[in-house]
Structure 1
């Protein structure tokens, strides 16, 4: 069986406080986008995991897809299987690609083996794998808080609008991003700001990671400015970087811009 783990963007991202467990509390809006990996699972005599596409650093045995399988195997009698991941979504790009792979693995195994796990149960499993993994279980626009793993529904739809995502081939680690941020109470009520039209977000909704990273990597503010020059209603960096996105009223002609970078564009749902 094949599934397509998709990416997400952050619309606004406030780092509000440092937690006693070493993590940070934050608030943001997570919104799914169509840039996707491809995950295939087939029956096998012994478990195996392989990948192609973008090279995934580290030990394959510690890949989040493998961890998701092992997590469910502790509680259920899962048969061995062969798992292959075609990695397309850039790594370290602020789009939650690895988290999505893990969550989609849980959902796929739940479906294939009829484990009858509820949405809540799947989200609880996902939370043990990473802070934003749980989002990809329901995979719909939400307001997120605490570590980014608690959600509230929001009346936000960007259906019919278009998005351009540009990854400038720059890997930014989470530790590097947080090093440039000082947690503080938000100056803007994000939930209220999100109720306004996207064209009004530019002056109210921000990603706290931008300040420090934009000073360090000048390509990032340049890409954001280019999005606005092309007519974006709203543009920002997603997550802890380095992908910059622009939301447009209609499909945009990139006019040979961003040719040296990794680009995805499509309609929002």
Structure 2
């Protein structure tokens, strides 16, 4: 069986405080986009995990897809299977690609083995794998808070708009991103700001990681400016990674403008 773990963007991101457990509290709007990996599982005599596409650093046995399988196997008598991940969404790009892979593994196993786990239970399993993994269980626009793993409904739809995402072949680790940000109470109420017209977001919807990372990597503000020059209604860096996105009223072509970078574009459907 095959599934397609999709990426997400952050629309606004405030780092509000350092937690006693070493993590940070934040607030953001998580929004799904169509840039996707491909995950397949088939019955096998023994468990195996393999990947192709973008090279995934680290020990394959510690991949989040494997951890998701092991997490469920601890509680259910899952038979062995062969799992293959075609990695397409860039790594360290702020789009939650690895988190999506983990969440979609949980959902796929739930379906394949008819575990009948409800949404809330799947989200709780996902929270054990990573702070934003739980988002991908429902995979819809939400306002998120605390570690990014608690959600509240938000009245926001960009359905019919077009998005362009540019990954400038720059891997930014979470630790590097947090080193350049100072937690503080936001000066703007994000949920209220997102109810304003899209054209006004550039003045009030900000990603706190931009300040430090834009100084360190000049290509990032250059790409954001390019988005606006090409007609974007709103542009931003997403998450703590290096991907810059623009939201447009009409479809635009960036392939010939930035041939040296990884570019994805598509229509927003949520």
Would you call these one fold, judging by a TM-score over 0.5?
Answer: yes
User: How many angstroms does 1:254 deviate by?
Assistant: 2.5
Q: Is the 8 A contact 2:199 2:234 kept in 1?
A: yes
Deviations along 1:19-48, one digit per CA (max 9) or x if unpaired, are 000000000000000000000000000000
The aligned residue for residue 166 of structure 2 is 166
Q: Is the 8 A contact 2:180 2:209 kept in 1?
A: yes
The aligned residue for residue 191 of structure 2 is 191
Deviations along 1:69-117, one digit per CA (max 9) or x if unpaired, are 0000000000000000000000000000000000000000000100010
Q: Is the 8 A contact 1:50 1:60 kept in 2?
A: yes
Q: Distance in 1 between matches of 2:244 and 2:198?
A: 16
Q: Distance in 1 between matches of 2:86 and 2:197?
A: 36
The alignment partner of 1:78 has SS state of coil
The aligned residue for residue 52 of structure 1 is 52
The aligned residue for residue 93 of structure 2 is 93
Q: Distance in 1 between matches of 2:93 and 2:100?
A: 13
The aligned residue for residue 231 of structure 1 is 231
The aligned residue for residue 248 of structure 2 is 248
Q: Distance in 2 between matches of 1:197 and 1:235?
A: 14
Q: Distance in 1 between matches of 2:231 and 2:87?
A: 31
Deviations along 1:164-194, one digit per CA (max 9) or x if unpaired, are 0000000000000000000000000000011
The alignment partner of 2:163 has SS state of strand
Deviating 4+ runs (over 4 angstroms): none
The aligned residue for residue 78 of structure 1 is 78
The alignment partner of 2:66 has SS state of helix
The aligned residue for residue 148 of structure 2 is 148
Structure 1: give runs of 5+ residues left out of the alignment: none
The aligned residue for residue 111 of structure 1 is 111
The aligned residue for residue 120 of structure 2 is 120
Q: Distance in 2 between matches of 1:252 and 1:47?
A: 44
Deviations along 1:217-261, one digit per CA (max 9) or x if unpaired, are 000000000000000000000000200000001101337211110
The aligned residue for residue 62 of structure 2 is 62
The aligned residue for residue 134 of structure 2 is 134
Q: Is the 8 A contact 1:100 1:133 kept in 2?
A: yes
* Aligned residues: CA RMSD: 0.6
Q: Is the 8 A contact 2:8 2:33 kept in 1?
A: yes
Q: Is the 8 A contact 2:16 2:24 kept in 1?
A: yes
Normalization by structure 2: what TM-score? 0.99
Normalization by structure 1: what TM-score? 0.99
Deviations along 1:146-166, one digit per CA (max 9) or x if unpaired, are 000000011100000000000
Q: Is the 8 A contact 2:162 2:251 kept in 1?
A: yes
The alignment partner of 2:102 has SS state of helix
Q: Distance in 2 between matches of 1:176 and 1:245?
A: 20
Structure 2: give runs of 5+ residues left out of the alignment: none
The aligned residue for residue 21 of structure 2 is 21
Kindly tell me the number of residue pairs found equivalent between the two proteins: 269
